[in-house]
Structure 1
Amino acid sequence: MNFTSTFTLSFLILIVIALVVSSVGFYKYVYFISLGYGFSIAAMGIAMPILFFNDLSIGTMVSCMLFVIYGCRLGGYLLVRELKSASYRHTMKKEMKDGSTMKIASKVSIWVSCSLLYALQISPVFLRLQNGVKTDVFSIVGAMIMVCGILLESLADIQKSKAKKKNPSRFCDSGLYKIVRCPNYLGEVLFWTGVFVSSINVYVGVWQWTMASFGYICIVYIMFGGARRLEIRQNRNYGDNPEYKTYVKQTPILLPFIPLYSVEKYKWLVG
Structure 2
Amino acid sequence: MTTLQIPLLLAELPDMIMGSTLAKCAVTDLGIQWAGWALAAAFKTEKFYDLAGSGTFILLAHLSCIWGGAGHIRQKVQTGLVTTWGLRLGTFLFMRILKDGHDRRFNKVRDSPGTFFVYWTIQAVWVFMTLLPTLMLNSEKREVPLGTRDYIGWTVWGLGFATEAIADQQKWLFKRDPDNAGKFIQSGLWACSRHPNYFGEILQWSGLWLSASSVMQGPQYLSVASPLFVWFMLRYVSGIPILEQQAVKNWGSEPAFQDYVRNTPLLWPWPKF
Correspondence list, 1:53-72, <5 A:
53=69, 55-72=70-87
Q: State the 1:116 CA deviation.
A: 3.7
- Aligned pairs, how many? 248
In structure 1, the residue matched to 2:6 is: none
**Residue 67 of structure 1 aligns to a residue in which SS?**
helix
C-alpha distance in 2 between matches for 1:41 and 1:222: 17
Aligned in 2, Cα 1:113/1:227: closer, same or farther, shift over 3 Å? closer
Identical residues among aligned pairs (%): 23
Aligned position for 2:61: 45
Q: CA deviation at 1:50?
A: 1.8
Q: What is the 5 A alignment of 1:92-107?
A: 92=104, 96-103=107-114, 107=116
Highest CA radius of gyration, 1 or 2?
A: 2
TM-score (ref. length: structure 1): 0.80
Inter-partner Cα distance in structure 1 for 2:154 and 2:68: 19
TM-score (structure 2 length as normaliser): 0.80
Task: Work out whether 1:11 is the aligned partner of 2:22.
Answer: yes
1:127-178 deviation line (CA, Å, top 9, x unaligned): 2333323333222221221222122111111100111111131101111101
Aligned-pair distance for 1:62?
1.0
Q: 1:127 aligns with which of 121, 136, 139?
A: 136
Match of residue 201 from structure 2: 188
Distance 1:190 1:203 in 2: 20
User: Does 1 or 2 have the higher relative contact order (CA < 8 Å, sep 6+)?
Assistant: 2
Q: Does 1:24 align with 2:36?
A: yes
Q: 1:193 to 1:140 in 2, by over 3 A?
A: same
- What residue is the counterpart of 1:267 in the other structure? none
Counterpart-to-counterpart distance in 2, 1:254 and 1:80: 25
How do residues 98-247 of structure 1 correspond to structure 2 at under 5 angstroms?
98-103=109-114, 107-108=116-117, 110-131=119-140, 132-134=142-144, 135-166=146-177, 167-206=180-219, 208-210=220-222, 212-225=223-236, 226-247=239-260
Q: CA RMSD in A?
A: 2.8
Deviation at 1:257, TM superposition (A): 3.4
Q: 5+ residue gaps in structure 2?
A: 1-11
Cα 1:102–1:24, aligned 2, differ >3 Å: closer, same or farther?
closer
